[in-house]
């Protein structure tokens, strides 16, 4: 790995860690970067999931004040994320690489739509809050988090946006508290997926963990997560979303043309 490649991947990890903490969808930065440098899609996705774990931990730590009184709620929601992440990671390992390559462009398009529509979803959801979480809402919330976890364990891009939209509709909390919960749940999905990838090591070289990538992305994501938690509220969300959309479109073009 050349110095230029290390620098570019570390910078992508930094941006991913920061964007994941503030909005979500950081995988749309790191994953296309790895594809650009010629890494196989499945190996890139697995290594990326491992590398983003430090950023998730840093982001969750950065939102500890917002989470101070939400421990019981996080404890009720966390199992759905853990199970979903486990299922998604196993699907990634069991499905053939050709299937993954065919699905990724569709997932990126879906993720980009969620990134673009996220603010509208959140504004609309703000008019539908109640002061009490009914049993029906709990069921829908847990099922939705399970599905988001499966998606996150399989690919991950825009998982944070999915979680933000879902919880904004169903939880009577402020957006910063919801963002704190999102950071914890997203980190748990990446963590359980990382454990699965470590325990079940595929024989196919195109599906193995690249530890150099993990270390480089992890270092960048750790710093990015800390920065994102500290200054995220002051950053223009429209600019972050614009960057994500541009990089996502580049990834789609790359996958379709190669």
- The tens digit of pLDDT for each residue in 60-113 reads 898 888 888 888 999 999 999 999 999 999 988 888 766 766 776 777 777 677
pLDDT of residue 86: 95
Per-residue pLDDT 10s for the chain (258 aa) are 788 999 999 999 999 999 888 877 788 889 889 988 988 888 888 899 889 999 989 998 988 888 888 889 999 999 999 999 999 999 888 887 667 667 767 777 776 777 677 667 666 655 655 556 778 888 989 999 999 899 888 877 678 877 887 887 788 787 788 888 999 999 999 889 888 888 886 666 666 788 999 999 999 999 999 998 887 666 666 776 676 677 667 767 766 776
Q: What is the pTM of this model?
A: 0.80
| DSSP string over 172-228 | -S-HHHHHHHHHHHHHHHHHHHHHHHHHS--SSGGGS--HHHHHHHHHHHHHHHHHH
DSSP 204: S
Range of the domain at 97: 3-257
List the structure tokens of 41.
Answer: 């899609």
Q: What pLDDT digit, counting tens, does each position of 114-136 carry?
A: 767 766 766 665 565 555 677 88
Mean pLDDT computed over every residue of the chain? 82
Provide the 3-class DSSP secondary structure of residue 126. Answer: coil
Q: How many structural domains compose the chain?
A: 1
pLDDT of residue 130: 55
CB within 8 Å of 167: residues ≥ 6 apart: 141, 173, 178, 181, 182
d(CA 81, CA 152): 9
Angle between helices 41-51 and 97-125 (to 10 degrees): 50
List the structure tokens of 189.
Answer: 């999905």
pLDDT of residue 146: 95
List the structure tokens of 155.
Answer: 């690919």
d(CA 9, CA 15): 10
């Amino acid at each position: 790995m050349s110095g230029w490649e290390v620098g570019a991947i570390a910078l992508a990890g930094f941006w991913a860690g920061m964007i994941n903490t503030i909005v979500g969808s950081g995988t749309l930065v790191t994953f296309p970067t790895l594809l650009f440098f010629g890494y196989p899609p499945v190996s890139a996705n697995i290594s990326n999931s491992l590398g983003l774990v430090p950023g998730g931990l840093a982001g969750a730590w950065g939102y500890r004040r917002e989470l101070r009184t939400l421990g019981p709620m996080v404890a009720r929601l966390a199992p759905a994320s853990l199970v979903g992440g486990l299922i998604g990671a196993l699907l990634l390992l069991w499905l053939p690489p050709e299937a993954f390559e065919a699905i990724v462009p569709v997932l990126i398009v879906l993720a980009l739509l969620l990134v673009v529509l996220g603010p509208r979803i959140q504004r609309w959801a703000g008019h539908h809050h109640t002061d009490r979480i009914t049993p029906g809402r709990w069921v829908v919330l847990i099922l939705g988090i399970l599905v988001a976890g499966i998606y996150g364990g399989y690919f991950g891009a825009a998982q944070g946006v999915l979680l933000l939209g879902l919880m904004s509709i169903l939880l009577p909390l402020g957006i910063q508290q919801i963002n704190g919960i999102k950071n914890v749940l997203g980190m748990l999905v990446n963590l359980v997926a990382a454990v699965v990838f470590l325990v079940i090591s595929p024989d196919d070289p195109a599906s193995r963990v690249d530890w150099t990538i993990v270390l480089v992305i992890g270092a960048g994501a750790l710093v990015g997560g800390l920065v994102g938690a500290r200054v995220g509220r002051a950053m223009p969300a429209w600019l972050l979303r614009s960057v994500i959309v541009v990089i996502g479109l580049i990834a789609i073009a790359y996958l379709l043309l190669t």
